[in-house]
A and B are shown apart, each in its own frame.
Chain A
Amino acid sequence: AQSVTQLGSHVSVSEGALVLLRCNYSSSVPPYLFWYVQYPNQGLQLLLKYTSAATLVKGINGFEAEFKKSETSFHLTKPSAHMSDAAEYFCAVSEGDTGRRALTFGSGTRLQVQP
């Protein structure tokens, strides 16, 4: 069975500081991994995805994530936070080999950016 654990329900950083949001996964088969962002009263928007190609994945808005199989991790980073990055971030995993492609989400991390 697939699952995702996001460490830290709230993260606060200063504008211009490094953003690091943590995600660990559990999967019985090689996983596909995703990061989504959710702004208030909006749906989820895909930031980036890992699909077994390069382990370092670059996404939109300057975010990137690195797949580390040995650590079963897929942490999201951004070198310099911007006020507009304040949102809820969700890590998700999909196994899909059985034809069931639906995503399993973590509980989310709310990112606050202080001026």
Chain B
Amino acid sequence: EAGVAQSPRYKIIEKRQSVAFWCNPISGHATLYWYQQILGQGPKLLIQFQNNGVVDDSQLPKDRFSAERLKGVDSTLKIQPAKLEDSAVYLCASSRDRGRLSEAFFGQGTRLTVV
């Protein structure tokens, strides 16, 4: 089966610009996650969707970050305006459901550099 697809793979923008990342989860997976991975750190959850509803966005900086999952399939994560500290790899993951036995599959990520 096809894996989690993310685009673009790399993005360089200037601070205060806006940027958007796209994620297509594995077909049939109800749960979708966005993680931020800063260099030298483990991934940190930004937002979790169940179908098209938000389950957890407690660590999402809502003044500049937004995410949506229309129709419960693809998802977009946006940053506006970007700051230097937003430089990171943004990982999308999906799982079949919310149960703890449901494995999360990760995409290759989008590496964002803010200059």
Q: Do A and B come from one complex?
A: yes
A103 touches B45 (CB 8 A): yes
Asked if B95 CB lies within 8 Å of chain A CBs, one says yes
A94 in complex: contacting residue of B40, B100, B111, CB < 8 Å: B100
Number of contacts between A and B (CB, 8 Å)? 63
Smallest CB separation, B33 vs chain A (Å): 6
Contact with A along B59-102 (1 / 0, CB 8 A): 00000000000000000000000000000000101010011111
Asked if A43 CB lies within 8 Å of chain B CBs, one says yes
B56 touches A102 (CB 8 A): yes
Q: Per DSSP, are chain B's interface residues mostly helix, strand or loop, or mixed?
A: loop
B106 touches A106 (CB 8 A): no
Q: A43-B107, A99-B55, A101-B100 are in contact. Are A90 and B43 (CB under 8 A)?
A: yes
List A residues at the B interface (Cβ < 8 Å): 4, 9, 32, 36, 41-46, 49, 51, 90, 92, 94, 96, 99-108
Provide 24 A-B residue pairs closer than 8 Å at the C-beta atoms, listed in order of the A residue. Answer: A4-B42, A32-B100, A43-B93, A43-B106, A43-B108, A43-B109, A44-B43, A44-B106, A46-B103, A51-B100, A51-B101, A96-B99, A101-B48, A101-B95, A101-B100, A101-B102, A103-B45, A104-B45, A105-B43, A106-B42, A107-B40, A108-B40, A108-B41, A108-B42
